[in-house]
């Protein structure tokens, strides 16, 4: 949903009756998904008083807020073992940048972190994360190109366990959600981590590009099937980005958004706050 989406709704319906078809189209175009759109329309249609542009927006915000997450326990470390965060997604969505931002975020909060360079596929991916690690002054575990990404994650876990490091952040290679073999590789990474700790990875975060639109829902569905996602990072909200897909993903798949990326710099990462997100849409 482009920020300003609600404003455009107000403009659209001020001084004239609400046109249901137009409203439905606007909600669908904002990538809210069909079920969320229907839910908002049904709630509005049940109202007996005359609808104004403002009341339409108020109901839409309320209904959206009902499905969005209230709390965010993701960054709490575990008592006596490393917490593993697997970062996944299609090519170029911002996985590596977000992993680095997340490492910086955790470090600023006083936590210890190790980065796992589990993208052994794309040229220069290992170096890219290496540069971030150096800049952040956090340890990194790197493998060989064309090596096994699961082995890199395994090694990173062992190192965290040995050195009492609280978080292991695994940056994986970009992959199309439609490529079965690559999705299978991700499932293997997950199974390997479970050998270190049966409950690992504790978080599987899908990085989605806010400019993707409704295809993000399909990406989430496929990655969820492969690794059971626990959350989303939505990036590039500083661009022409639409963030409406996160509402559809929450509503239809039950996956909460944890962080938002709003730029290329380390500090351009924030906790996802449902109320703020919905308010900024106005
Ligand atoms: N404007 C903006 N750019 C971003 C954001 N997050 C990442 N980028 C940029 O997006 C591009 C791709 O970022 P990467 O972190 O390399 O993406 P990736 O998902 O790791 O890419 P692959 O590993 O090739 O799949 C880089 O130019 C980043 O600087 C964001 O929140 N806002
Ligand atoms: Mg990357």
Q: Which ligand is nearest to the CA of 237?
A: 1
What domain count does the chain have? 2
- Which ligand 1 atom is the nearest neighbour of the CA of 89? 19
61 and 5 Cβ atoms separated by less than 8 Å: no
Assess if residue 279 is contained within a domain. Answer: no
**pLDDT for 54-99, tens place per residue?**
999 999 999 999 998 877 777 789 989 999 999 999 999 999 999 9
Ligand 1 binding pocket mutation candidate from 88, 90, 92 (most atoms within 8 A of CB): 92
Q: How confident is the model at residue 7 (pLDDT cuts 50, 70, 90)?
A: confident
Task: Say if residue 11 is in the same domain as residue 97.
Answer: no
Domain boundary among 67, 97, 112: 67
Give the phi and the psi of residue 269 in degrees, each rounded to 5: -140, 135
Task: Say if residue 122 is in the same domain as residue 60.
Answer: no
Q: Which domain holds residue 48?
A: 5-67
pTM: 0.91
**pLDDT for 145-168, tens place per residue?**
999 999 999 999 999 999 999 999
Q: What's the gap in Å between 91 CA and the centre of ligand 2?
A: 7
Dist. CA 162–CA 158, nearest whole Å: 6
Is 104 a pocket residue for ligand 1 (Cβ < 6 Å)?
A: no
- Which ligand 1 atom is the nearest neighbour of the CA of 175? 25
Dist. CA 132–CA 66, nearest whole Å: 37
- What b/e sequence results for 42-77 when a residue is b if at least 16 CB atoms lie within 10 Å of its CB, and e otherwise? eebeeeeeebebeebbebbbebbeebbbeebebbeb
Dist. CA 126–CA 115, nearest whole Å: 11
What sign for the dihedral angle of Cα 181, 186, 187, 188? positive
Q: Which ligand is nearest to the CA of 210?
A: 1
Residue 2, pLDDT above cutoff 60: no
118 and 142 Cβ atoms separated by less than 8 Å: no
- Which ligand 1 atom is the nearest neighbour of the CA of 207? 19
* Predicted local confidence at residue 148, as pLDDT: 97
* Predicted local confidence at residue 1, as pLDDT: 46
């Amino acid at each position: 949903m482009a920020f300003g989406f609600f404003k455009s709704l107000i403009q659209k319906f001020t001084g004239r009756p609400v046109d249901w078809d137009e409203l439905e189209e606007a909600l669908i175009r904002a990538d809210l998904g069909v079920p969320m759109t229907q839910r908002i329309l049904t709630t509005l249609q049940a109202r007996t008083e005359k609808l104004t542009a403002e009341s339409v927006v108020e109901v839409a915000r309320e209904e959206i807020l009902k499905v969005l997450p209230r709390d965010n326990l993701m960054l709490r470390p575990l008592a006596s073992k490393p917490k593993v965060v697997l970062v996944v997604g299609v090519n170029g969505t911002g996985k590596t940048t977000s992993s680095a931002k997340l490492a910086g975020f955790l470090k600023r909060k006083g936590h210890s972190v190790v980065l796992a360079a589990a993208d052994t596929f794309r040229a220069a991916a290992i170096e890219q994360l290496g540069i971030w690690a150096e800049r952040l002054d956090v340890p990194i575990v790197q493998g060989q190109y064309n090596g096994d990404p699961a082995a890199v994650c395994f090694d990173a876990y062992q190192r965290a366990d040995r050195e009492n490091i609280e978080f292991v952040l695994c940056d994986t290679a970009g992959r199309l959600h439609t490529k079965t073999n690559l999705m299978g590789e991700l499932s293997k990474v997950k199974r390997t981590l479970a050998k270190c700790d049966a409950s690992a990875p504790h978080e599987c975060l899908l990085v989605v590009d806010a400019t993707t639109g409704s295809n993000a829902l399909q990406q989430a569905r496929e990655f969820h099937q492969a690794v059971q996602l626990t959350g989303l990072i939505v990036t590039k909200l500083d661009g022409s980005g639409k963030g409406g897909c996160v509402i559809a993903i929450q509503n239809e798949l039950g996956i909460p958004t944890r962080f938002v990326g709003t730029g290329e710099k380390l500090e351009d990462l924030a906790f996802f706050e449902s109320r703020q997100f919905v308010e900024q849409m106005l």
